[in-house]
Amino acid sequence: MDVNVFLYGGIGNCLFHIAAGRYLRNRGFNVNFINKCEHAGTLEFIRKLEYVVDLPIDAPGYNKYAASLSRLEYEAGSTGRIGKFWFLKELHNYIKFDVSTIDAIGIHIRRGDFLEDRRRNKKPYYTDLCESTYYYNVAEICKNLELPIKIFTDDPKTIPDYILNLFPTAEITGNDPEKDFYEFASCRYKFLSESTFSLWCGYANSESTVFYPCECGIDDRVLSNWVPLAFEKSNQIHNYKLDIDVVVLTTHNSDRLNNGIVNYPSILPKYNVFYGHTPSELTVPMPSWYLSYKKGFNMHAKQATWCCLLGKLAILKKHLKEHPDKDLLFLEDDVHFPPLFNTYFNSFMAKVPHDWEIIWFGGSHVDSGAIEVAPGVLSTTCMSNSECILFRASVIPAVIAVLEPDYVKKAASHHSDLLIGSLYKTHKVYTPLVPFVGQNFGYSYIRSKHRCIGIRNKFMYTDINGNLVNASNKLLSAYL
């Protein structure tokens, strides 16, 4: 019996059609493969696997038959349909590929017509993994693999910015379907999307480790040794663009700047330096009411905190005047970045709620009553460490207001860190549960003694499940 198997769609669909045709041929059918594919790259790819007969687009019945991930309809002879052929798990055995394995991580992101179909509500039952926590989970696994990352997609321009932040060093490709297929298939670790292209890249190399999104419509097509990754659907994915101004506060006679920025992260824009004053250079005398602050502080410590307050105030005012619509990352010159800051930063920013106004990346030893609003993200109540703070442009006028001397004089605390931290009462202030920015290996020049990077002691917080948890063991050492 003659059977015409129609090939259309992308590479993934066509490979299933060819595999189904070979299955039928193996059972005695005389199979003809007929091209209905309009993708030039796909057609070139499949012609290397099978002889394909072209079918004119205006031929009768051109749009009559449909194939999908779960079903193939085929035609007997040239006239009537004889039934439906349901995919079998062993279909992938009917096509073999010559693929070597390279030490790389491959991540697939399905966009293109799939994205357009969802926008038009044509296929609302599809899961858009970009609107879920799937790629966050992928990023967490990639942290421990330490291999180059390649992102494969059919439409690079539509990849959300938060994914670019999650994988800042990734090579992104999506121009040549055949080249992408073999490169993705060759990766030692593969993270699939909800697509037939992904499935076949997984089938093509039995030596690789394959992860797939479970309960996403492809579970009945995966192999038993593949690893399922659970995820949560969400339309609240963070899409933060790293268009920020970075300013470091230091002094002219300080050697701390070079020591503290030795691990300055490649993901951050080039920083600008603002030279503040030392106690001996004070141009604005410390007022008498400030002298009464912090009885445990010696005169040098009080003068240093006053200089720090004036320096922050000057930086914020200058930034507001020159870049009123730009976010500001404030750094002190003794800031210490861990080697994997890029990874931690991207992972954290992907989970921070959209409404953030201030983010403290350093540790704290006075916080209490904090609430975990997302995995690893605390809605903080007060902070006492300003080595690294990110300010939204919209909140900078409010920060300036609490640092003005007239306000400070009446405030419960005169310390600039605590004044900024007090804005949690009226603004959205967040911090990482496990801090990943420290103070020059924990040394405080004000107190002249060492402090632990990643301080999170002497307070309890409410975790994401509503449990009261002691944060004392949540230290930066968990990251390093």
User: Measured between alpha carbons, how far is 432 from 436 in angstroms, rounded to an integer?
Assistant: 8
Tell which residue, 448, 348, 354, has the closest CA to residue 388: 348
User: Measured between alpha carbons, how far is 205 from 96 in angstroms, rounded to an integer?
Assistant: 9
User: What type of residue sits at position 190?
Assistant: K
User: Which pLDDT does position 62 carry in this prediction?
Assistant: 38
**pLDDT, tens only, 16-61:** 888 888 888 888 888 888 887 777 778 888 888 887 776 554 444 4
Look at residue 234 and tell me if it is in a domain. no
* Pair (282, 162) in one structural domain: no
Q: What is the tally of structural domains in the chain?
A: 3
Q: What is the mean pLDDT of residues 389-414?
A: 90
User: What type of residue sits at position 121?
Assistant: N
Look at residue 175 and tell me if it is in a domain. yes
* Pair (258, 204) in one structural domain: no
* Pair (36, 66) in one structural domain: yes
Identify which of 209-223, 240-254, 357-371 has the greatest average pLDDT: 209-223
* Pair (354, 432) in one structural domain: yes
Sequential DSSP letters for 101-112: -EEEEEEEE--H
CA distances from 319 to 251, 399, 430 (A): 18, 12, 22
76 token code pair: 């007997």
Look at residue 452 and tell me if it is in a domain. yes
* Pair (286, 420) in one structural domain: yes
* Pair (49, 125) in one structural domain: no
User: Which pLDDT does position 115 carry in this prediction?
Assistant: 66
**pLDDT, tens only, 314-338:** 999 999 999 999 999 999 887 878 7
Q: Is residue 276 pLDDT above 50, yes or no?
A: yes
More confident residue, 149 or 346: 149
More confident residue, 306 or 109: 109
* Pair (184, 267) in one structural domain: no
Q: What is the CATH number of the domain that holds 109?
A: 3.40.50.11350
* Pair (209, 110) in one structural domain: yes
Write out the residue range of the structural domain in which residue 61 sits. 2-94
* Pair (84, 113) in one structural domain: no
* Pair (368, 248) in one structural domain: yes
What are the start-end ranges of the E strands in 170-296? 171-173, 187-191, 209-213, 227-229, 244-251, 272-276
**pLDDT, tens only, 421-478:** 788 888 988 888 777 777 664 444 434 443 444 444 456 778 778 888 776 544 433 3
Per-residue confidence band for 364, with pLDDT thresholds at 50, 70 and 90: low
Torsion of CA 121, 125, 126, 132, to 10 degrees: 100
The continuous run of DSSP H or E covering 170 comes out as none
User: Which pLDDT does position 240 carry in this prediction?
Assistant: 58
